[in-house]
Amino acid sequence: MKKASLMFTVLTAGVLFSTSACKEKAAPAPVVPGVVVIPAAEADYVEYMPSISNVMAFDSVDLVARVEGFLLKRNFKDGELVKKGQLLFQIEPEKYEAAVAAAEADLLKARADQKNSTSDYERQKTLLAKDAVSRRKYDEAESQKMQSDAAVLAAEAKLKQAKLDLGYTKITAPFDGRISFNRYSEGNLVSPASGTLATLHRSGPVKVDFQLNELDLLRLMKSEPVKNKKFSSVPVELRFQNGEKYPLTGRLDSFDNQISQATGTFKIRAVFDNPRERLIPGMYVKIRIRSGEAKTTAAVPRAAMQTDMSGDYVYVVGKENTVERRSIKAAELDGTIYISDGVKTGELVIVEGISKTRPGGKVAPQLQKTAETVK
């Protein structure tokens, strides 16, 4: 009986052991998600004051017809560079040449009449002194002389205007620059009422007028160059709408004399050299002015930063590959996040696989190339 009981106990233990072993074998191993990490790089961050504006030529003029006539000639190609004094439009001159000739003839006649009336006046004046002529005769001679003098002045003015009108038939470039597309073809009748024939923008440096709010203005006024009134030494950065940086640094040129009551902003002008004419008048650009000294920060790609109701944060891989959520103080510039507080240089920050992680969980980190230091 004891032998049977012992055998049952052994069999029962064997069954329990076998069942436990099966259970342990069936339990799956925990899956550790893979993530891509990058060491936070040491980088200098410079704070900038941003603004958006558009490029303007230093001088721009709308070319218009100042006299009426048929457009005889157009002496440029649309969009080309033209030189100061270059003939751009020629309005038929014949009518105005005839007006000059008629005015010259009128002036000759007026001067001849003036000569005769002056001679008669001098004669009457001499006779009056000898009491050889009546006062009435003298007054008539004097009046005639004054009328002839006035007629000469009127004829001279008429000739001057006729010559001006003749000159207006030639429309020339007032300065070197690039001309717009032509709005009127040869043979069209043009006049002052026709509006702009073409627009000319001066070649060379361009200007960008932009706005700063009052707080940014106060920060700018504290900078050493502005305090020392060395405005031209304040560097101004320009970027195109696609984010590309313009290779030449601009300089501050002038300031407005008041803050706009409507917008609360202050107008400032920057000047940029434009040797290759990449800056086209009317182009929208982004302006940035340095507002402080460079600060050493930890830099990571934009993909690393997350944001929720509590603010900005990143995931850091800490000891034993455990994920830590770190709240950060950071600024973004050109796709790079500059962290001033929350992450130290060299710490591993997750940039890919963030959705597979959670704070306190384990991960299998894979190293990516270090972010370039932004200077």
Q: Is the pLDDT of residue 374 over 60?
A: no
In this structure, the answer to whether residues 210 and 279 fall within a common structural domain is yes
pLDDT bracket for residue 369 (50, 70, 90): low
Q: Is residue 274 part of a domain?
A: yes
The number of domains in the chain is 4
What percentage of the chain exceeds 70 in pLDDT?
89
Beta strands in 220-357 (DSSP E): 235-239, 250-259, 265-272, 284-290, 295-301, 306-308, 311-317, 323-327, 329-333, 336-341, 348-352
Structure tokens at 25: 């074998």
Question: Cβ contacts of residue 369 below 8 Å, gap of 6+?
Answer: 38
The structure's pTM equals 0.66
Residue 214 has a CB neighbour count (10 Å cut-off) of 11
My answer on whether 209 and 305 are in the same domain is no
Please indicate whether residue 351 or residue 24 has the higher confidence score (pLDDT). 351
Task: Give percent of the chain above pLDDT 90.
Answer: 70
- pLDDT value at position 26? 55
Cβ contact 245:375 at 8 Å: no
Q: Report the CATH number at residue 144.
A: 1.10.287.470
pLDDT of 22 > 80? The answer is no
**Confidence label for 10 from pLDDT (cuts 50, 70 and 90):** very low
If one compares 151 and 294, the residue with the highest pLDDT of the two is: 151
| Last residue within a domain, chosen from 290, 314, 329 | 290
Whichever domain contains 191, its CATH number is 2.40.50.100
217 and 124 within one domain: no
- Whether 129 maps to a domain, the answer reads yes
Final residue before a domain boundary, out of 117, 147, 167 = 167
Q: Which of 177, 201, 170, 167 is nearest to 73 (CA)?
A: 170
Residue 45: pLDDT above 80?
Answer: yes
pLDDT single digits (tens) 316-364: 999 999 999 999 998 887 789 999 999 999 999 999 999 988 999 999 9
Structural domain that includes position 179: 69-90+170-202
Q: How far apart are CA 339 and CA 300, in angstroms?
A: 8
Q: Verify that 284 and 208 share a domain, yes or no.
A: yes
The CATH number for 355's domain is: 2.40.420.20
Amino acid 372: pLDDT = 46
Residue 119 has pLDDT above 50, yes or no: yes
| Torsion-angle region of 204 (φ positive above 0: left; ψ -120 to 50: alpha; else: beta) | left
Beta-strand pair 69-74/87-91: antiparallel
Q: Which of 118-122, 126-130, 226-230 has the lowest mean pLDDT?
A: 226-230
CATH number of the domain that 248 lies in?
A: 2.40.30.170
Quick one: 207 and 110 in the same domain?
no
pLDDT tens digits for 161-176? 999 999 999 999 999 9
Q: Among the three residues 167, 189, 217, which one is the final residue of a domain in this structure?
A: 167
The b/e string for 103-127 (b: 16+ C-beta within 10 A; e otherwise) is beebbeebeebbeebeebbeebeee
- 135 lies in the same domain as 109: yes
72-84 tens-digit pLDDT = 999 999 999 999 9
Q: For residue 14, what pLDDT is reported? A: 47
Instruction: State whether 81 and 115 are in the same domain.
Output: no
pLDDT (tens digit, 9 = 90+) per residue, 167-210?
999 999 999 999 999 899 999 999 999 999 999 999 999 999 99
Is 151 within the bounds of a domain?
yes
What is the pLDDT, as a whole number, of residue 4? 42
User: Does some domain include residue 15?
Assistant: no
What was the pLDDT predicted at 12? 46
DSSP sequence for 153-212:
HHHHHHHHHHHHHHHTTEEE-SSSEEE---SS-TT-EE-GGG-EEEEEEE-S-EEEEEEE
Q: What angle do CA 40, 45, 47 make, to 5 degrees?
A: 145
Residue 336's contacts (CB-CB under 8 Å, 6 or more residues apart) are 43, 299, 300, 301, 302, 371, 374
* Rg of the chain over all Cα atoms, to the nearest angstrom: 43
Nearest by Cα to 364 from 39, 37, 32: 32
Residues 210, 268, single domain; the answer is: yes
Q: Cβ atoms within 10 A of the Cβ of 71, count? A: 21
Element (H, E) at 35: strand 34-39
Q: Residues 234, 283: one domain?
A: yes
- Tell whether 63 is covered by a domain: no
pLDDT at residue number 221: 81
Say if 106 falls within a structural domain.
yes
Asked whether residue 77 falls in the same domain as residue 196, the answer is yes
- Same domain? 327 vs 262: no
Worst-scoring range by mean pLDDT, 21-35, 95-109, 110-124, 218-232? Answer: 21-35
Task: Specify if 20 maps to a domain.
Answer: no
Q: How far apart are CA 255 and CA 261, in angstroms?
A: 16
In a domain, 339, yes or no: yes
Q: Are residues 159 and 257 in the same domain?
A: no
Q: For position 15, what pLDDT does the model report?
A: 43
**Summary mean pLDDT of the chain:** 88
Residue 18 in this model has a pLDDT that exceeds 60:
no
